[in-house]
Structure 1
Amino acid sequence: MGLILLVEDEQGAAALLRRYIENSSDGHRLAVFGKAAEALSFAAQNKVDLFILDIQLLDYRGTELARQLRALPEYRFTPILFTTELAGEELSAYREIKCYDFLVKPFTEEEFQKTFHAALEMGAQMQAVPEILRIEQKQFLFEYEIRNILYIESFGKRLLIHTAQTGGSEVTDRISGYSLSKLLNMVPRDRLLQCHKSFLINPVHICKIDKANRLLYLKECETAIPIGEKYQKAVFEREKP
């Protein structure tokens, strides 16, 4: 069951698409907005699995909304379907924004269902691929599976990235030219959590939080990670990942 975000300002078209999606009998959740700005705000606070965007919207164009969505790390590869009445523009959007597909109005329910299910299947396949953090260092490119990152600590302009390896060992790499805030913007939302001005941790590895001493412990890691006062509320809320 996925969350579908439909952005369509024409009530009749929105009602028709809602019926088509309900007829898919897959139990998808659906959020419908008539304005791009409202849809963008919703997407930033919820995990959306598929976007269906009308190119012509009341406040601004669906293609511009798609560009803003693509700028969010968690939606770089999420499938986007465009609906449009403008011949030719859908091809431009397809190339520039890398949407999954487009539907030219009027389209039949059969055409919609075929495209809709193909997009959902592609999105599910993309999610099955491990999420990777890629860091450039001069002529080298370091790639880390985000799920294997334990924590990252900062020492001025230098970072230490600690990762868990098969067998329980820990590997540490030294990285320069990156800040903690920059790394946070490079990964999907909530994958890493800042717990201290000098530390990011992977919340899926949390095994214990010592609130009295403001320390947290990670699975497969002997180091106790400090919790800064500024970040303690966010950390305590993630005690049970």
Structure 2
Amino acid sequence: MGNVLLVEDNPNAVKKIVQYINKISSESAVVSFAEAGAALQYAKDNEVSLFILDIQLEDYKGTSLAKQLRQLPEYKYTPIIFETALAGEELSAYRDVKCYSFLVKPFDEEEFAAAFRDAMGLSSQMNQRARTIQVEQKQFILEYTVSDIAYVESFGKRLAVHINHRISGVKEDMISGYTLAGMLTLLDDPEFVQCHKSYIVNKRHIEKIDKPGRQIFLKGFAEPIPVGNKYQSALWGSL
């Protein structure tokens, strides 16, 4: 069922929610934090299948944490359940963060179980739909999760596929027999755009853009990616 990240600063509420989850699924690992900042760092370093966020936290609001999580490509659609005693926050949460469900304190075990089961079911379906591509290389086949590919770089008749996975980190594979145009066709994903005669980038991984300098910076990579004059209008217009 994957990791459940619970962000709640009330110890009694944490204990109750963990008990509820353990009754529903012994396979779900629950990790809890009282502060949003520590929870955000954990999410960056680990895979999380479901977030349960209290809106009123010790350091800053759970809705602010959720917005930060939504800015991370891997959590753009991950289910979020908010819990709070302030029912008036509900509309803002749904509109601004697109949370999956909302629990108003005090909630009972039946209410929690219904929201939890539905959210974990959605998370499971999303994980199963993570699209992959296969690249044939002589006597073996390389398989990549499309969303993990940060950019592809051309070196004549060879391509460098640069991967940034939130757990295993950054790596590079050299492949042959493919052109940038052929790789774009294989990827078949509107998030991938050609930004230079030698580069394809995944917009999900863009961290910063420098229009005057005609370059972009990707998360996890120190070196900037150049933006060619021929491609800049289309790229800036798509961001």
Please name the residue that 1:125 is paired with.
125
- 1:42 Cα deviation from its structure 2 partner: 0.5
Q: Unaligned 5+ residue runs, structure 1? A: 134-143, 163-168, 199-241
2:194 and 2:201 in contact (8 A); partners too: no
Counterpart code for 2:33? F
The residue that corresponds to 2:180 in the other structure is: 172
Question: Does the CA contact (< 8 Å) of 2:50 and 2:80 recur in 1?
Answer: yes
Tell me how far apart the structure 2 counterparts of residues 31 and 180 of structure 1 sit (CA, whole Å).
43
Partner of 1:56: 56
Determine if contact 2:5/2:31 at 8 Å carries over to the other structure.
Answer: yes
1:13 correspondence with 2:13: yes
Aligned in 2, Cα 1:172/1:47: closer, same or farther, shift over 3 Å?
same
State the partner residue of 2:102: 102
One-letter amino acid of the counterpart of residue 111, structure 1: E
- Structure 1 position 176, deviation (Å): 3.8
* Cα separation, partners in 2 of 1:179 and 1:95, compared to 1, 3 Å: farther
1:57–1:179 CA distance, 2 compared to 1 (3 A): farther
1:186 equivalent in structure 2:
204
TM-score calculated relative to the size of structure 1: 0.61
- 1:209 is matched with none
Q: TM-score of the superposition, structure 2-length normalised?
A: 0.62
* Secondary structure of the structure 1 residue equivalent to 2:94: helix
Q: CA deviation at 1:120?
A: 0.5
Q: Does the aligned pair in 2 maintain the 1:52–1:82 contact within 8 Å? A: yes
Distance 1:14 1:97, change over 3 A: same
1:76 — aligned with what? Answer: 76
Distance in 1 (CA, whole Å) between partners of 2:36 and 2:196 is 33
- Distance, in Å, in 2 between the alignment partners of 1:15 and 1:78 is 24
- Contact kept? 1:34, 1:57, Cα under 8 Å: yes
Q: Which amino acid aligns with 1:129?
A: R
What do residues 83-110 of structure 1 show as CA deviations (whole Å, max 9, x unaligned)? 0111221221011100111100111101
In the alignment, is the contact (CA less than 8 A) between 1:73 and 1:185 conserved in 2?
no
Q: What's the CA shift for 1:161?
A: 8.5
What is the alpha-carbon distance in structure 2 between the residues aligned to residue 148 and residue 19 of structure 1? Answer: 34
Aligned residue number for residue 115 of structure 1:
115
Aligned counterparts of 1:19 and 1:98: Cα–Cα separation in 2: 26
| Alpha-carbon distance in 2 for matches of 1:178, 1:114 | 49
Superposition deviation, residue 56 in structure 1: 0.3
In structure 2, the residue matched to 1:237 is none
Secondary structure, aligned partner of 2:82 = strand
In structure 1, distance between residues paired with 2:117 and 2:78? 14
Aligned length: 175
Q: Deviations over 1:37-58 (max 9, x none)?
A: 0000100000000000000001
User: Is 2:91 the counterpart of 1:88?
Assistant: no
For residue 224 of structure 1, what is the aligned residue in structure 2?
none
How far apart are residue 126 of structure 1 and its match? 1.6
Q: Please, what is the CA RMSD of the aligned residues?
A: 3.8
* Runs ≥4 residues deviating over 3 A: 130-133, 169-172, 178-185
Work out the CA distance in 1 between the residues paired with 2:9 and 2:198.
40
Matched to 2:204, the amino acid is: M
Letter in 1 for 2:76: R
Aligned CA distance change for structure 1 residues 46 and 89 (closer, same or farther; 3 Å): same
